[in-house]
Structure 1
Amino acid sequence: MAKRGQTMKYREVITKAVCGKGKKFTQTSHSISPQHRPTSILGCWIINHRYEAKKRGDVVVVDGRYDVNIWYSCENNTKTQVCTETISYTDEVPLKVKDEEGFGVDEEVIARVLQQPNCLEANISERGNKVLVEVEREFLVEIIGDTKVRVTVHPDSRSDDDWQKVLEEESFEDLDTDFLSTEEE
């Protein structure tokens, strides 16, 4: 707080800050055709998730892909097979919080996976020739940009010069400089 009669001084500081943020949860279905007609599903895993994110207008577009691996039995449960299919996707994550002043040439897009692509359910289709896979995923995106912050300068606070004076004025007279003596007295 300024003292009575004292005017406040301000500085504008340019810094990096989160200027936009968004979050999106997605549930999708994929129809995968294994080489052999499946009898039962033994397991389904999603691996090799890769993605990149770019800002496009008021959204962040996340383009990615992952491999769906389905372990299944066939030929009346007498054999097992693994079917792998690479799935590509595009998620548009709307920016909920925006600081328009912070958007510019040097903005950085950060996308974090909150929920890795995960198989919720895998079932054999009614016709019996495909596997229907339910997948969920979730992203949090942030736009980091330059923004301007206005701060108060307190005239009563110590500057670096003031701290230097305090250090120089400290008394070192009480130090025993002979404590490392090599000869016994």
Structure 2
Amino acid sequence: MADHREIITKAVVAKGQKYTQSNHTISPPHHPSSILGCWAINHKYEARKVGKQVEIFGSFDINVWYSHHDNTKTSVVIEKVDYKDIIKLKYRDPDCLDDKIVSAKVLQQPNCVEAVISKKGNKILVNVERELLVEVIGETKVCVAVYPDKCPCDDEEDDDWVEELSDKEFEEIDPDFLVAKDDE
């Protein structure tokens, strides 16, 4: 027998990461006087591999709390944003046999960096950031050493793993702890 074996296993065979900033224009029903708060929530996304890159299709809601009518009233305007990010794969295993599983992870949830009123005073301009990491999982070969006679780890004693109960501990064991009670 040879000294080595090739094992086929699943592993990360490609990776990619992308940071994105995007600008969005929101048209509220009233002319805003001031921006009181801005949040990006309800982020959802799906990833799929296309060639040597991964496409992320996602969406999130932008909620802007603003005052209007000369700061006498407040409202919240909500706008759903759909996006598509293309992430190039920077590391690729040349021995990959199958690479159809894509794992996407959000490093930075969509976050409102800035929200300002437009110069005309009728729209709200929002800047949002997000960052995603993708890993492509596929089958690849791993080479391992083979010990033809005996594995060096077999020489160690397993006595360290055995823990015996003392007589006192044995007497404290409740033999009925697994018995179901009729009251319950």
Do the structures match in fold with TM over 0.5? yes
The answer to whether structure 1 residue 112 and structure 2 residue 97 are counterparts is: no
Give the match for residue 123 of structure 1: 116
1:82 to 76, 81, 84: 76
Superposition map of 1:29-178 within 5 A = 29-102=23-96, 104=98, 107-158=100-151
How far 1:22 moved relative to its partner? Answer: 0.4
Matched pairs, number: 158
Q: Encode CA deviations 1:19-38: one digit per residue, 9 max, x unaligned.
A: 00000000010001011110
Separation (CA, whole Å) in 1 of partners of 2:11 and 2:151: 27
Cα RMSD, aligned residues only: 2.2
Separation (CA, whole Å) in 1 of partners of 2:68 and 2:100: 52
Residue type at the aligned position of 1:135: V
User: Unpaired runs of 5+ in structure 2?
Assistant: 159-169, 171-184
Q: Contact (CA 8 Å) 2:49, 2:100: kept in 1 or not?
A: no
How far 1:154 moved relative to its partner? Answer: 2.1
How far 1:159 moved relative to its partner? Answer: 8.8
How far 1:153 moved relative to its partner? Answer: 0.8
User: Unpaired runs of 5+ in structure 1?
Assistant: 1-6, 168-179, 181-185
Larger Rg: 1
Distance 1:140 1:16, change over 3 A: same
Give the match for residue 161 of structure 2: none
How far 1:156 moved relative to its partner? Answer: 4.5
Provide the TM-score with structure 1 as the length reference: 0.79
Give the match for residue 22 of structure 2: 28
Distance 1:117 1:103, change over 3 A: farther
Separation (CA, whole Å) in 1 of partners of 2:101 and 2:36: 43
Distance 1:103 1:139, change over 3 A: farther
How far 1:157 moved relative to its partner? Answer: 3.2
How far 1:117 moved relative to its partner? Answer: 0.2
How far 1:158 moved relative to its partner? Answer: 2.9
Separation (CA, whole Å) in 2 of partners of 1:88 and 1:156: 60
Q: Contact (CA 8 Å) 1:107, 1:146: kept in 2 or not?
A: no
Residue type at the aligned position of 1:115: Q
Residue type at the aligned position of 2:144: V
